[in-house]
Amino acid sequence: MHDLPPLHTLPAFEAAARLGSFLAAAEALHLTPSAISHRIRQLEEHLGQALFERRHRAVVLTTAGRRYLAVVRDALLRLDEASAVLRAPQRERLRISAAPALGSKWLVMRVAEYQEAHPDLEFSLGTATGLGPLLNGEADIGLRYGEEEWPGLLAWKLFEERVFPVCSPGLAASLNTPQALDQVRLLRHPLLSWQRWFAAAGIQHPEPSTGPNYEDALLMLEAAVAGHGVALMAGTLAAPYLTEGRLIRPFPQDCADRSFYIVAPPAVQEKPAIMAFIRWLLHSTRKASQK
């Protein structure tokens, strides 16, 4: 570790890369623009590489800068996580309330990964669809599917969703075109719009008013597996069923829909270990989506 760069230069580099401006980086880090410029120059001299192209009132990463940024961000994130856990009381508890289908597989895998590196953080996982657990103090953070507005809560977008029909292999045999959906039972969920998908498929069709209405997406997936109808489903939730062959996509068309969010009461900002987990979950999710 004798050739490490000056560590105080790394936050300046990351901020300038993220914000595209030395001035904006200076404001974010409460430094002067000349201090940011000096630190970037110091880092470039240490590396023997130009990290930015200087333009009028803006900076753009060079190829070397883009490669270096990925490593620096990971390193700063790990330092942030470790520092937050050390600052927090030992065995701090994080209570997560997740939408049932997302919590069943997607979240469980990520919590296990994070807890392996942070054994002093105790997790408690529960499922719910409404905001009650977050508003009444039963949960620290929640994972919910919805629009951008979350009154009374902080929100971070995890990822946007694409939705599409799924059904059992047996039922799919009778579905040659999207118009054939008129002949089968359509399974409904209050947050998923069949009419929006029909429009994306080039079909004028009203929102179905009959057929089972499921508030739990996991139950709707299981109903589709059992051949009880065709379900309109978010891709993230359907993915394990598609991989296992229990469900298939009868048509290639999909459409944009709502997004999954991390939501939390404002008081969570005073809990460093929980904020570190939120930052890690956002980072790891975005990193996985780029692969």
DSSP code string of 8-38: THHHHHHHHHHHT-HHHHHHHHT--HHHHHH
pLDDT tops 80 at residue 137: yes
Q: Please state, as a whole number, how many other Cβ atoms lie within 10 Å of the Cβ of residue 178.
A: 18
The residue type of 166 is: V
For residues 39-61, average pLDDT:
93
Q: Which residues pair with 53 in a beta bridge?
A: 60
pLDDT band at residue 90, thresholds of 50, 70 and 90? low
Residue 64 has pLDDT above 90, yes or no: yes
What pTM was computed for the model? 0.61
134-145 mean pLDDT: 92
For 146, 164, 188, the CA distances from 221, given in Å and listed in that order, are: 19, 12, 11
Name the band, by pLDDT with cuts 50, 70 and 90, for residue 66.
very high
Q: Where are the domains of the chain?
A: 9-86, 88-291
Domain 88-291 fold: D-Maltodextrin-Binding Protein; domain 2 (3.40.190)
* Average pLDDT over every residue of 274-281: 94
**Out of 62-66, 76-80, 89-93, 280-284, least confident range:** 89-93
Residue 42 has pLDDT above 90, yes or no: yes
Residue 275 has pLDDT above 90, yes or no: yes
pLDDT of residue 89: 61
Which pLDDT belongs to residue 24? Answer: 94
Residues 169-196: tens digit of each pLDDT? 999 999 999 999 988 999 999 888 999 9
User: Cα-atom radius of gyration of the chain, to the nearest Å?
Assistant: 23
CATH class of 9-86: mainly alpha
Q: Is the pLDDT of residue 65 over 60?
A: yes
- For range 91-97, the mean pLDDT: 88
Q: What is the reported pLDDT for 69?
A: 95
State percent of the chain over pLDDT 90: 63
